[in-house]
């Protein structure tokens, strides 16, 4: 059973519908499409109440993607996360307030991402086999990503200064935080 509102009046339909929504991430638009589902023949149904209750239960199989990971890839993923936890051990044992620790971890993560993107950019610029137009487009995208990450890094660094200004951390703690952020 489908309930919907038209001109402020609640209406009910006993027909089954499937609503397909396609979302495009690049410009955040969507295209709704309503497709009526198959309905059983009324000649085959002897009881009208049975017809109204069974029409809405029509199931349409959904398509999807199934991803299977090998044990080796699962282990590699877990191993990739371990160095980051170890690299933040000095932050966690610093005795700084939780918010300052979170900010420091964010700074380290942003620095790591910037370094990664810069390496990708250098590799891309060194690639002589790529079509020049595609190369130019990819370089532009990487430069934009690096700029966005750099802006986030500046914001995180400003958050440390703001915490000191608002007396949430002492000048000594700010100096300690800056030393940890520099690593």
- 103, 121 contact by CB (below 8 A): no
pLDDT in tens, 144-168: 999 999 999 999 999 988 998 998 8
Q: Where are the domains of the chain?
A: 2-57, 86-182
Each residue of 34-48: pLDDT tens digit?
A: 455 555 554 444 444
- What was the pLDDT predicted at 110? 96
Whether 113 has a pLDDT exceeding 50, the answer reads yes
What is the pLDDT averaged over residues 128-133?
93
Predicted confidence (pLDDT) at residue 122 exceeds the cutoff of 60: yes
Query: Taking all residues of the chain, what is their mean pLDDT, rounded to a whole number?
Result: 73
| pLDDT tens profile 43-62 | 444 444 444 444 444 555 55
Distances (CA, A) of 62 to 19, 76, 130, 141, 158: 12, 32, 39, 34, 48
- pLDDT above 90 as % of the chain: 43
> What pLDDT is recorded for position 123?
93
| Beta carbons within 10 angstroms of residue 124's beta carbon | 15
pLDDT at site 183: 84
Residue with tokens 């608002």: 166
The crossing angle, in degrees rounded to 10, of helices 132-165 and 171-182 is: 160
Q: How confident is the model at residue 109 (pLDDT cuts 50, 70, 90)?
A: very high
Each residue of 5-42: b (16+ CB within 10 Å) or e?
A: eeeeeeeeeeebeeeeeeeeeeeeeeeeeeeeeeeeee
């Amino acid at each position: 059973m489908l309930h919907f509102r038209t001109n402020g009046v609640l209406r009910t339909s006993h027909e089954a519908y499937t609503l397909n929504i396609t979302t495009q991430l690049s410009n955040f638009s969507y295209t709704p499409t309503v497709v009526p589902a198959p309905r059983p023949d009324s000649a085959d149904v002897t009881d009208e109440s049975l017809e109204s209750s069974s029409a809405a239960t029509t199931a349409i199989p959904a398509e999807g993607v199934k991803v299977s990971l090998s044990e080796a890839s699962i282990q590699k993923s877990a191993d990739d996360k371990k160095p980051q936890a170890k690299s933040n051990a000095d932050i966690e044992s610093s005795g700084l307030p939780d918010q300052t620790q979170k900010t420091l971890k964010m700074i380290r993560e942003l620095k790591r991402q910037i370094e990664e993107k810069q390496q990708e950019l250098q590799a891309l610029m060194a690639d002589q086999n790529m079509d020049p137009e595609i190369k130019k487009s990819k370089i532009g995208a990487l430069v934009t990503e690096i700029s966005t990450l750099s802006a986030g890094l500046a914001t995180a660094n400003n958050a440390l200064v703001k915490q000191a200004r608002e007396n949430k951390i002492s000048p000594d703690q700010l100096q300690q935080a800056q030393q940890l952020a520099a690593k």
